[in-house]
Chains A and B, each alone.
Chain A
Amino acid sequence: MSLLAITNLSLSVHAAGILKDVSLSIDPGQIVAVTGESGSGKSMTALAVMQLLPNGARTAGSVLLDGKELLDRPEAEMCALRGASIGMVFQEPMTALNPVKTIGDQVMETILIHKAMPKDQAQDRAREVLTRVGLPPDKFPLGRYPHELSGGQRQRVVIAMAIALRPRLLIADEPTTALDVTTQAQILDLLKGLVSEYGMGLLMITHDLAVVAGMADRIVVMRRGEVVETGPTRHLLANMRHPYTRMLFEASSHQVSLPDATGRAPLLALNGVVRDYRLPRTKLFGDPGHHRAVDNVSFTLNRGERLGLVGESGCGKSTLTRAILGLEDVQQGQILLDGQPVFAGHRPNLEVRRKMQVVFQDPFGSFNPRHRVARLITEPFHLLQAPPTGSERQDRIAEMLTAVGLTPEDAGKYIHEFSGGQRQRIAIARALITRPQLILFDEAVSALDVSVRAQILDLLAELCAAYDLTYLFISHDLSVVRTITDRVMVMRAGRIVEQGETEQVFSDPQHPYTRALIAAAPRLPDFGRGAA
């Protein structure tokens, strides 16, 4: 008998269909991965098992845990099961912990809510569990608060809470999506170890097919609330039957063909750039101390070249981006665009500023929702001395929207009428409309689904051919950087530790950190690609 058996599970919330006839099963000690793009119903399947669905949810079908039905269990019985028989780990470790309670209290809570035991005994159990997940009490005492831990450490605490009572089933909803690649590899190892040690069943939800390929015994591919294909990992990857599965895998390892880089004249030149942040004073009259976010960075970006910048969170990528854009002054060194300084005497140099534009990560937060698209994408015009007006302005809007794959009619719409991928196209149109010499892409495709990401990458390649773009592409995603750049720099703790031709760096990394990064990044197995 399987540990968890979901049969023909259907779910609707306020009469809107979310899941339709979903079936899957998990045996003890087995890892089953549910994958699919956003809106496919992956997370809702997990929440249905936990019976933590939003208000107005109606379910049909059957969810059996150890042969017993969960769907019609009274709430009190579900409370006794949650945490004890089913543990759950969530995506966002930064917010999954209560900020005002210590990690010890939060781990102990799982134990104390289900088992009557003296507090010191629960404390010992909490210490044991935290040690098991890699947070030994001599380094991470129970009295720590979540804000004193890094993202990866917080995710370990969340896992400790979920496994404290050795549940039979562990559900992990995108457990590593918010983490760096090296941390992701550690957390995935931890989960795998726990499954084999405790004989738990693991229901893992992730959009990342490379993670799925390396982790799961079985794969369930979902689209729009339905299971389109399921099977043992190797078998499924070798003979993908459903076109959607094939599309997902192709999009995940999508390659674009960039036109050859033109010209060799330097456009952007950084020379010994240093960016310090003041730390809060530790002594009343003492020197406040500094944190060096960017440490002696020098590089040149040639006209017509596509340069990548990779590194983990906190390595100084974003600080460097802000400095290049002239949003913040630097303490040492010089940033020159086309021979002119970005910062002229502690003030941003407008002359230079109008020659560059930026595309940010979040397609939802980077637009004013009360402006129409025409106004949104013409915003950079205020930088120009003689912005186009009248019909010339209309032509530019139409041209840009067409160039990014939208229609001129979209100019009259508001931003909420567009999907995430379309919004990112609008962001690119906004960046291109002044024909800047340099564009910065700051994690510009990181928030997108794989199929949408592939389309945007194709769009970038097309625009490179049409407009001869020069850009700096900042990302933590190595596979994206590999296909969309000519040259790449690897940044760590404020320094550029390696730079070179992209293919050269990826196939023959010199610096140990680069090697570690590339080794930690999950990869799609070749047999999947071969069959596609």
Chain B
Amino acid sequence: MLRYSLKRLISLCLSLAVASVVIFAVIEVAPGDPASFMLGVNAQPDTLAALRAELGLDVPKHERYFNWVGGMLTGDFGTSYTYRTPVSDMIADRMWVSLPLALYALTLSTAIAFPAGIYAASRRGKPGDIAVMGATQLGIAVPNFWFAMMLVLIFAINLRLFNAGGFAGWEDGIWTGLHSLTLPAIALALPQAAILARVMRSALLDILGEDFMRTARAKGLSRRQALWRHGVRNALIPVLTIIGLQFSFLLAGAIIIEQVFYLPGLGRLVFQAISSRDLIVVESVVMLLVFAVIIVNFLVDLAYAAVDPRLRSRT
């Protein structure tokens, strides 16, 4: 297990290094000079040069790469071209919205999907299964912003249980913060839960056909006992893969939901930064997201090994 974890950790570091080079290179070849963009078309050449020096754009490319990576390692992400504030502060603020939102949505989607998938699998072909499958079909087909609007309509406007948008911040306590993230989290979670429930169901159905499930029944376990004791854990491998993918998506892909609920999250930050050619912000956020995705994959790998002993010994 230790060797396995160590190997995964090494591959994690290598992936990060490769990703940083690729991101830097891609952003570098993008047309447009941030300095001239900031100062406008009528800028004086010497002012432009001064600004370029201030932004660190006048040194050779490889030096800029190492400055950027070194800075990130020490928590210095540079200064935003447009807002003239440290990128690290901007990201940190947004992170405190996006990360809890993603975790919240993932928890909800898992909490919905596991029981639904297991229930459907255990009643294959029966009305319960058909109902769950119909609901998940709907959940996949309907876009999440439509759920968002419906939730606002019902819970914010009619029932007045939640605010229609905005984020209350964490200063007034964790519950206030969570309360204002609840509707967006549900809107994000529903389509994800629908996908996850289907994966859970099909993974379980595959397992139910395995020989060892028949062995379990021959030992005297009831259908339900066999399902829970021998089925669920074996079905987790494909489910964990999907959970990992979903978390990465939820972290960065919540931009539409952030717009609908006026949430100051990472998605909106990237959107604004791209439209104002604030490359340093884009670079930093993208790098951060890559970092998050790679960390999540690492955790998923560890979870695989926890679930399946065959992976532990095959180092």
Closest to A91 in B: B211
CB-based contact B219/A52 at 8 Å:
no
- Interface range, A side: 20 to 34
Most central of B210, B215, B225, B309 by chain A CB within 10 Å: B215
CA gap between A152 and B218 in the complex, in Å:
20
Q: Is B42's beta carbon under 8 Å from chain A?
A: no
CB-based contact A114/B217 at 8 Å:
no
Identify A100's interface contact among B215, B234, B313, CB under 8 A: B234
CB-based contact A84/B220 at 8 Å:
yes
Which residues of chain A from 256 to 287 have any CB-CB distance to chain B below 8 Å in the complex?
280
Residues of chain A within 8 A (CB-CB) of B216 are 98, 109
Residues of chain A within 8 A (CB-CB) of B211 are 90, 92, 95-96
Identify A161's interface contact among B214, B215, B313, CB under 8 A: B215
Taking A95-B210, A95-B212, A113-B225 as contacts, is the C-beta distance between A100 and B308 under 8 angstroms?
yes
> Quick check: which of A73-81, A342-350, A508-516 contacts chain B, the rest being far away?
A73-81
Q: Is B61's beta carbon under 8 Å from chain A?
A: no
* Interface residues as binary, B276-303 with A (CB distance below 8 Å gives 1, 0 otherwise): 0000000000000000000000000000
CA gap between A503 and B234 in the complex, in Å:
50
Closest CB in chain A relative to B204 CB, distance in Å: 14
Q: Is B158's beta carbon under 8 Å from chain A?
A: no
CB-based contact A100/B220 at 8 Å:
no
**6 closest Cβ contacts across the A-B interface?**
A83-B220, A83-B219, A95-B211, A88-B218, A82-B220, A98-B212
Closest to A81 in B: B220
CA gap between A100 and B211 in the complex, in Å:
14
CB-based contact B315/A114 at 8 Å:
no
* Interface residues as binary, A59-83 with B (CB distance below 8 Å gives 1, 0 otherwise): 0000000000000000110011111
Most central of A76, A92, A109 by chain B CB within 10 Å: A109
Which residues of chain B from 205 to 241 have any CB-CB distance to chain A below 8 Å in the complex?
210-212, 214-222, 225, 229-230, 233-234
Closest CB in chain B relative to A402 CB, distance in Å: 40
Residues of chain B within 8 A (CB-CB) of A95 are 210-212
CB-based contact A99/B308 at 8 Å:
yes
Taking A52-B218, A75-B222, A83-B220 as contacts, is the C-beta distance between A145 and B212 under 8 angstroms?
no
Which residues of chain B from 3 to 56 have any CB-CB distance to chain A below 8 Å in the complex?
none
CA gap between A103 and B220 in the complex, in Å:
17
Residues of chain B within 8 A (CB-CB) of A82 are 217-220
* Interface residues as binary, A149-186 with B (CB distance below 8 Å gives 1, 0 otherwise): 00000000010011000000000000000000000000
Residues of chain B within 8 A (CB-CB) of A101 are 230
CA gap between A95 and B207 in the complex, in Å:
11
A-B contacts, 15 of them at CB < 8 A, read A52-B218, A81-B220, A82-B219, A83-B219, A88-B215, A95-B210, A96-B215, A99-B309, A101-B230, A109-B221, A113-B225, A145-B310, A147-B309, A161-B215, A280-B314
Closest CB in chain A relative to B303 CB, distance in Å: 13
Q: Is B307's beta carbon under 8 Å from chain A?
A: yes
Residues of chain A within 8 A (CB-CB) of B309 are 99-100, 145, 147
CB-based contact B220/A161 at 8 Å:
no
Taking A98-B230, A100-B233, A100-B309 as contacts, is the C-beta distance between A90 and B220 under 8 angstroms?
no
Closest CB in chain A relative to B5 CB, distance in Å: 14
CB-based contact B310/A99 at 8 Å:
yes
Q: Is A110's beta carbon under 8 Å from chain B?
A: yes
Residues of chain B within 8 A (CB-CB) of A158 are 215
Residues of chain B within 8 A (CB-CB) of A81 are 220
Taking A99-B310, A113-B225, A145-B310 as contacts, is the C-beta distance between A52 and B215 under 8 angstroms?
no
Closest CB in chain A relative to B302 CB, distance in Å: 15
Closest CB in chain B relative to A373 CB, distance in Å: 30
Chain B: interface residue total (CB-CB under 8 A): 24
CA gap between A161 and B212 in the complex, in Å:
12
Q: Is A50's beta carbon under 8 Å from chain B?
A: yes
| Interface, chain A (partner B; CB < 8 A) | 50, 52, 75-76, 79-84, 87-88, 90, 92, 95-101, 109-110, 113-114, 145, 147-148, 158, 161-162, 280
CB-based contact B221/A79 at 8 Å:
yes
Taking A96-B215, A158-B215 as contacts, is the C-beta distance between A110 and B313 under 8 angstroms?
no
Residues of chain A within 8 A (CB-CB) of B313 are 145, 147-148
CB-based contact A110/B222 at 8 Å:
no
Closest CB in chain B relative to A344 CB, distance in Å: 35
Residues of chain B within 8 A (CB-CB) of A92 are 211
Closest to A86 in B: B218
CB-based contact A79/B220 at 8 Å:
yes
CA gap between A148 and B309 in the complex, in Å:
10
CB-based contact B307/A100 at 8 Å:
yes
CA gap between A471 and B211 in the complex, in Å:
37
Closest CB in chain A relative to B13 CB, distance in Å: 15
Closest to B306 in A: A100
CA gap between A378 and B266 in the complex, in Å:
59
Residues of chain A within 8 A (CB-CB) of B315 are 280
CA gap between A113 and B225 in the complex, in Å:
10
CA gap between A148 and B312 in the complex, in Å:
12
CB-based contact A161/B222 at 8 Å:
no
CB-based contact A52/B214 at 8 Å:
yes
CB-based contact A80/B212 at 8 Å:
no
Most central of A90, A99, A148 by chain B CB within 10 Å: A99
Closest CB in chain B relative to A278 CB, distance in Å: 14
Closest CB in chain B relative to A280 CB, distance in Å: 6
CA gap between A162 and B216 in the complex, in Å:
10
Residues of chain B within 8 A (CB-CB) of A83 are 218-221
Most central of B222, B309, B313, B314 by chain A CB within 10 Å: B309
CB-based contact A113/B308 at 8 Å:
no
CB-based contact B310/A162 at 8 Å:
no
CA gap between A158 and B222 in the complex, in Å:
18
Residues of chain B within 8 A (CB-CB) of A113 are 219-221, 225
CA gap between A79 and B218 in the complex, in Å:
8
Closest CB in chain B relative to A469 CB, distance in Å: 38
Residues of chain A within 8 A (CB-CB) of B219 are 82-83, 109-110, 113, 161
Closest CB in chain A relative to B167 CB, distance in Å: 42
CA gap between A50 and B215 in the complex, in Å:
11
Most central of B210, B216, B219 by chain A CB within 10 Å: B219
Closest CB in chain A relative to B10 CB, distance in Å: 10
Closest CB in chain A relative to B240 CB, distance in Å: 13
Residues of chain A within 8 A (CB-CB) of B230 are 98, 101
Closest to B309 in A: A145
Residues of chain B within 8 A (CB-CB) of A50 are 218
